[in-house]
Chain A
Amino acid sequence: RRGVSFRLQALRVCSGRHPCAVCCPATMLNRVTRLVPRARQLDPGRFLHGGPQGPQGLAVHLDDRVPDETPRAGSRPSEDDPAGAGEQREDRHYRIPLQDLPTVFAHGLPQYQHYVCQVKTFHEACLLVRRPALELLRHLDGTNFAHPAVRYVLYGEKGTGKTLSLCHVIHFCAKRDWLVVHVPDAHLWVKSCRGLLRSAYNRQRFDQPVEASSWLKSFKTANERFLSQIKIQETYMWNKRESTEKGRPLGEVVEQGLTRVKNATDAVGIVLKELKSQSCSGAFRLLVAVDGVNALWGKTTLKREDKSLMAPEELALVHSLRKMVRNDWHGGAVVLALSQTGSLFTPRMAYLPQELLGKEGFDALDPFVPVLVSNYSPEEFERCIQYYLENSWLQHEKAHTEEGKKELLFLSDANPGQLERLCAYL
């Protein structure tokens, strides 16, 4: 019953000198291939690209690969440029150039250590293009910026790919030169914060200097170029001596928040307010992307001075974010993702918007466009396995065979998160 173990031999080794778009465009046919000895394939320091010969070489070895018409048939990611959704087809891996990563995802992906490790190992960040993300991108392409911002809510069971779909959308919009306001995980703002301060602006609310300043820092790296263009429209008095005049660039507000940590939360509030009001003017497009948005209407584990639990609206950051997520502005879009994983006091099986947001949150977000993210379809699963096999990541002899794939399918139940965990680092 044992299958014969195959070895991938027809792989081309990339030197890394040229940008990837040169080596691997969609229609290259004359490529030089050389046989790479097995030991070198495992060296993580090298780039391993399948090349156009890759899939055909694979097609010879593997049982049931049906090569498509295009020479790059379904194996290697070709799209670096997300612009033009027509080029992106489903079931392709879509690669984000590494130099984009620090800027676009300046906030990082906090709960995705595995993904970060995978990026480091493969020296490329690849996402599978899936239907929910594609739909979202198409909608975003066709947004009418005169209408109020449409809210899209990504929901689904645990591990189905909501956060990564959100990242795909963010990268897409960043490439199109939108201004992206990305909150990687709203849950971090409602639990285990140190250094809560009474807000100077509003005695009822609380500031979170640490979280606010870290967010401001990543916001700055992500959107450098906009900070000098956008001018604020009001004068803000920080204290008796410091103030920011009207007409100064937004960057100064951010600087103020970074240098004076006590004012960081207020700075965040100001930034969000300004962006909202100015996006209506049409100078830029605004994308608000929040992950774990159910934290804004859930419970917190933060305590007031008298040891009683706080409600989320008493936090200034949460308050300003809630205002941002409302649809009383136009000139952009709002994409939200629910998450049960980090949420507090929610049952494990809950994944529907109603359950996770609660009545209050649901009413606040209503109307929205729900986007269901589900487990992999058989084709997507196949693609994912192919990706791992191409990168020589799955070393077990049976990984190539049908039985091995069936085993993986059963164990992970086509859940992307589980599959990733099964195949990933120890």
Chain B
Amino acid sequence: MATPCVFCGAAAFYRLFLGGRVSLTRRQGVWKAAAAELQTDTGFQILRLRHTTGVTTKKNVAALRRETYTVDFIKKQIEEFNIGKRHLANMMGEDPETFTQEDIDRAIAYLFPSGLFEKQARPVMKHPEQIFPKQRAIQWGEDGRPFHFLFYTGKQSYYSLMHEAYGKLLEAEKRQSQLQAKGLFSEKTETKDLIGSRWLIKEELEEMLVEKLSDQDYAQFIRLLERLLTLHCGAEEEFVQRFRRSVTIQSKKHLIEPVQYDEQGMAFSTSEGKRKSAKAEAVVYEHGSGRIKVNGIDYLLYFPVTQDREQLMFPFHFLDRLGKHDTTCMVSGGGRSSQAGAIRLAVARALCSFVTEEEVEWMRQAGLLTADP
């Protein structure tokens, strides 16, 4: 029975110290008050951090206390941010109503020029939601009872999500078996959704749930979603799409140079390439016999080393057009190996205009169209 006395003593001590700030509205028994007060150190509502390091001895709680951001605090920050944004817009002479985040970034970079190499260390002015880490609201009520039924699992959002997903899976299976029983089941294959999008990565899921996950948890969740997808039910599509992010297809960003025609009517295509400090410009003719001239000199004499000539051969060999094109190149800068690389890039880009889109995509995947700095 000594413990309640200690609590009482501690509670009394706190009450004496913090006076008016303590709200003594909750007095429902010694134990509960003491428990409530132990949890509410300042007597006020605290937010339990999700980033606690696991060391929860009394002396460390005081240190961690400083990292908590109360809801009011965040609200105040947001108001300050908005006001600051308007001030900034006035300073820059722009319209405060239509001042977007990009404008803010530009203004800050102008007003506080920084030479730091680490971009994240430079001065930044963003909405508080992006700066302060997301935290969870209080998860238990006045009586200390947690709101969520899965609170005591430790990862309530994750398990509730799994529970929801599994519920949907069971429903979908039930529907499918009903359809099969009626004989109306049809094999619908809609796998188009999967192309061009990817599953959330573990960090994104953690951010979404505001909870730490382990790798096995994440894998389990993805497996469950994939199993859900195999059932092909339209109702669950939305649910699943929440967890997919789109992936832009890179090759569509490429500019394919147009084919030009010279005086004799021969089709040719020009483009440039760079590698280290070498710059090259290549003109590839559509019909030819595989001769290459570099700076007016035959490529065998310009590149006596076999390795350089292999680099030149790569784009043609990849597209199976070894003896079919004539090329003229001008190259400058760099050493012999970087000049060869620059010409290779230029030639690959020029060949894009004579080749189908599929082959352009293959070239991109082979790395022929990527500039090597």
Contacts and interface: CB of A to CB of B under 8 A. Distances in A.
Interface of A: 1, 157-158, 348-349, 403, 406-407, 409-413, 415, 418, 421-422
A228 B322 CA distance: 59
Interface in B300-331: 300-301, 306, 309-310, 313, 316-317, 320, 322-323
Given A407-B313, A407-B317, A422-B306, A413 B323 contact: no
Interface string B273-317: 000000000000000001000000111110000100110010011
Most buried by B among A158, A349, A407, A410: A410
Contacts of A422: 306
Given A410-B290, A411-B313, A1 B301 contact: no
A403 B320 contact: yes
Contacts of B299: 413
15 contacts: A157-B301, A349-B297, A403-B320, A403-B322, A407-B317, A409-B322, A409-B323, A410-B290, A410-B316, A411-B306, A411-B310, A411-B313, A413-B298, A413-B299, A418-B300
A422 B316 CA distance: 19
A127 B320 CA distance: 32
Nearest to B309: A411
A407 B322 CA distance: 7
Contact of A410 (B297, B301, B320, B323): B323
Q: Is the interface of B mostly helix, strand, loop or mixed?
A: helix
A406 B306 contact: no
B306 A410 contact: no
Contacts of B320: 1, 403
Nearest to A415: B300
B297 A406 contact: no
A425 B13 CA distance: 92
A158 B316 CA distance: 26
Q: List 6 tightest A-B contacts by C-beta distance, closest first.
A: A413-B300, A406-B322, A410-B313, A411-B309, A410-B322, A415-B300
Given A409-B322, A410-B290, A418-B300, 6 more contacts: A348-B301, A406-B323, A407-B317, A410-B313, A411-B306, A413-B309
Contacts of B317: 403, 407, 410
Contacts of B301: 157-158, 348-349
Most buried by B among A1, A411, A415, A422: A411
Interface string B122-148: 000000000000000000000000000
A175 B317 CA distance: 46
A158 B313 CA distance: 21
Nearest to B300: A413
A410 B300 CA distance: 9
